[in-house]
């Protein structure tokens, strides 16, 4: 494994059962489909997961796997567009897909906040950073401008921006990339939300800054007790932060488990592929990194059966129904894997063929 941060939980931490009614967020059978001229794009096609209070879920997958689209559905950012969203998203006991626009608007930013990928394009270029953060606070709190300003300076300070009383009046383009992302985090945290959705929060940043931002998020989570969904294509990021990891492929979940399970006993050939395409720092480099062959699947005409089968190196020897049936994914299990190959054989393949070269 890459250098795992000490924040990451050990596998002894009891995982909440997926059906746990006490989970802060429960996504059940979420589908997000976009009608286009070429056909129906099934960006998210039957996704279920839970996020317990105070825990971090990492959603991993390559571009087009539906990870961002599913998180935007939680915020209702598809409302007013042509997207067809179905399923249930329970936040506490409220179904976010059923409530009215106004009720959802009041929850956005206050109960659920979002940190976006590219903080330069996610901040309005014509308004000062402070103005935008204060706005996020005042829309949910009936306070004076000066009170909001004090609170904003406090938050900027808390996320590690030096001279917050001066930086508050600067524009986004006057901030460096890392500082901008800190400001975005301050904006997301200012209302003390119970759930933070971080959509590729470090992808647009320098590698040196990435670790600082992740550390900041982890520290703030401990302090504020929020749940976090962190969306990334970078396994290193979730290794740092996530308690639980959900691997997505072609709009569906293919594997879910605790961070240790996914890293040490991964069950799905796609997860194996992700792990072997990741550089390792803790071992001598013996051979080249192995990319996953092929391209992400079409979301309009996904491959029949298992969406990963055209790229799966173990399909031929498996002789199973990879092509004819969509493998089941049982969210009731502690470590479900969507694969046609029986678990026992997969374990053998992993131990003999995959693990030695990881």
Partner 1 sequence: MYAYVIRRLFSGLVMLIVMSFATFLMFFNGAVDPVRYTCGKACGVPGVLERNRAMLGYDDPVPVQYAKFVKGVFVGRDFPDDPALRKSAPETIARCDAPCLGYSPKENSTVTSMLAERAPISASLAVAAFIMWIAFGVGGGIVAALYKGRWPDKLIVGTALIFYAFPTFFIGLFLYKFVAIKWELTPQPVYTAFTEDPVAWAMGLFLPGLTLALFYIAGYIRLTRSYVIEAASEDYLRTAKAKGLDKRTILWKHTMRSALTPLITLAALDFAGLLGGAIITETVFNYQGLGKLAVDAATTWDLPVTVGIVLTLSTIVILANIIVDVLYAVIDPRVKLA
CB 141 to partner 1: min, Å: 11
User: Does 339 interact with partner 1 (rule: CB under 8 A)?
Assistant: no
Q: Is 354 in the site for partner 1 (CB under 8 A)?
A: no
Q: Measured between alpha carbons, how far is 358 from 353 in angstroms, rounded to an integer?
A: 10
Angle at 282 between CA 218 and CA 313, to 5 degrees: 95
Is 136 a binder of partner 1 (CB under 8 A)? yes
Name which of residues 79 to 108 contact partner 1 (CB under 8 A): 105-108
* Secondary structure (DSSP) of 117-176: S-HHHHS-TTS-HHHHHHHHHHTTS---HHHHHHHHHHHHHHTT-SSHHHHTTS-GGGS-
127 is a contact residue toward partner 1 (CB under 8 A): yes
Q: Which of 5, 77, 147, 211 touches partner 1 (CB under 8 A)?
A: 77
**Sheet containing 94-95, strands listed edge to edge, beginning at the edge strand earlier in sequence:** 39-51, 25-36, 84-91, 94-95
122 contacts partner 1 (rule: CB under 8 A): yes
Rounded CA-CA distance 258/344 in Å is 20
CA distance 99 to 116: 24
CB of 122 to partner 1, least distance (A): 5
Q: Report the nearest approach of partner 1 to the CB of residue 115 (Å).
A: 9
For 349, the 3-state DSSP assignment is helix
| 137 or 270: CB nearest partner 1 | 137
The nearer residue to partner 1, 114 or 349, going by C-beta atoms, is: 114
By C-beta, is 75 or 238 nearer to partner 1?
75
State which H helix or E strand residue 68 sits in: helix 67-75
Kindly state the smallest distance separating residue 90's Cβ from partner 1, in Å: 19
Distance CA 170, CA 191 (A): 21
Single out the residue of 53, 96, 101, 106 nearest to residue 71, CA to CA.
Answer: 96
- Binding-site string for partner 1 from residue 46 to residue 75, where x marks contact by CB under 8 A and - marks none: -----------------------------x
Residue (118 or 215) nearer to partner 1, CB: 118
The yes or no reply on residue 248 touching partner 1 (CB under 8 A) is no
Residues 184-243 that bind partner 1 (CB under 8 A): 184, 187
Contact between 109 and partner 1 (CB under 8 A)? yes
Gap between the Cα atoms of 216 and 185, Å rounded: 9
Q: How many residues bind partner 1 (CB under 8 A)?
A: 29
The whole-angstrom separation of Cα 306 and Cα 303 is 7
Q: What is the spatial distance between Cα 124 and Cα 116, in angstroms, rounded to a whole number? A: 13
Distance CA 143, CA 97 (A): 30
145-158 helix and 177-189 helix, angle to the nearest 10 degrees:
120
Q: Does 135 bind partner 1 (CB under 8 A)?
A: yes
Cα separation, 294 vs 42, whole angstroms:
20
Contact indicator for 149, 202 with CB cutoff of 8 Å: no
Minimum gap (Å) between residue 127 Cβ and partner 1? 8
Which CB, 108 or 243, lies closer to partner 1?
A: 108
Which residues between 139 and 168 bind partner 1 (CB under 8 A)? 139-140
* Least distance (Å) between residue 112 CB and partner 1: 9
Closest approach of partner 1 to the CB of residue 185, in Å:
13
- Is 264 among the residues that bind partner 1 (CB under 8 A)? no
Candidates 92, 95, 118, 345; binder of partner 1 (CB under 8 A) is: 118
Given the rule CB under 8 A, which of 116-124, 148-156, 254-262, 291-299 is the region that contacts partner 1?
116-124
44, 57, 69, 113: which one binds partner 1 (CB under 8 A): 113
Would you say 312 and 306 are in contact if contact means Cβ atoms under 8 Å apart?
yes
Q: What is the contact surface with partner 1 in residues (CB under 8 A)?
A: 75, 77, 105-110, 113-114, 116, 118, 121-128, 132, 135-136, 139-140, 171, 173, 184, 187
């Amino acid at each position: 494994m890459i250098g795992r941060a000490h924040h990451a939980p050990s596998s002894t931490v009891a995982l909440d059962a997926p059906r746990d009614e006490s989970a802060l967020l429960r996504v059940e059978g979420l589908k997000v489909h976009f009608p286009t001229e070429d056909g129906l794009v099934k960006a998210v096609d039957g996704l279920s997961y839970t996020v317990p209070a105070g825990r971090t879920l990492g959603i991993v997958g390559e571009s087009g796997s539906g990870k961002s689209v599913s998180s935007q559905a939680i915020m209702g950012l598809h409302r007013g567009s042509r997207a067809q969203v179905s399923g249930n998203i329970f936040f506490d006991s409220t179904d976010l897909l059923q409530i009215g626009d106004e009720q959802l608007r009041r929850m956005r930013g206050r109960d659920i906040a979002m940190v976006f990928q590219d903080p330069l394009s996610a901040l309005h270029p014509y308004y000062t950073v402070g103005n935008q953060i204060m706005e996020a606070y005042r829309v949910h709190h009936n306070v004076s401008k000066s009170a909001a300003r004090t609170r904003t300076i406090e938050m900027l300070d808390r996320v590690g921006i030096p001279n917050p009383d001066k930086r508050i009046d600067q524009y986004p383009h006057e901030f460096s990339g890392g500082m901008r992302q800190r400001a975005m985090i301050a904006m997301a945290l200012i209302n003390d939300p119970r759930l933070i959705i971080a959509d590729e929060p470090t992808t647009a940043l320098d590698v040196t800054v990435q670790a600082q931002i992740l550390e900041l998020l982890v520290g703030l989570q401990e302090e504020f007790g929020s749940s976090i969904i962190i969306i990334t294509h970078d396994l290193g990021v979730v290794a740092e932060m996530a308690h639980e990891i959900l691997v997505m492929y072609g709009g569906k979940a293919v594997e879910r488990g605790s961070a240790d399970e996914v890293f040490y006993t991964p069950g799905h050939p796609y997860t194996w592929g992700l792990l072997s395409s990741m550089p390792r720092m803790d071992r001598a480099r013996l051979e080249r990194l192995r990319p996953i062959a092929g391209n992400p699947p079409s979301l309009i005409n996904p491959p029949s059966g298992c969406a990963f089968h055209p790229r799966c190196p173990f399909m031929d020897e498996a002789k199973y129904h990879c092509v004819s049936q969509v493998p089941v994914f049982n969210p009731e299990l502690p470590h479900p894997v969507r694969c046609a190959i029986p678990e026992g054989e997969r374990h053998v393949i992993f131990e003999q063929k995959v693990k030695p070269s990881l």
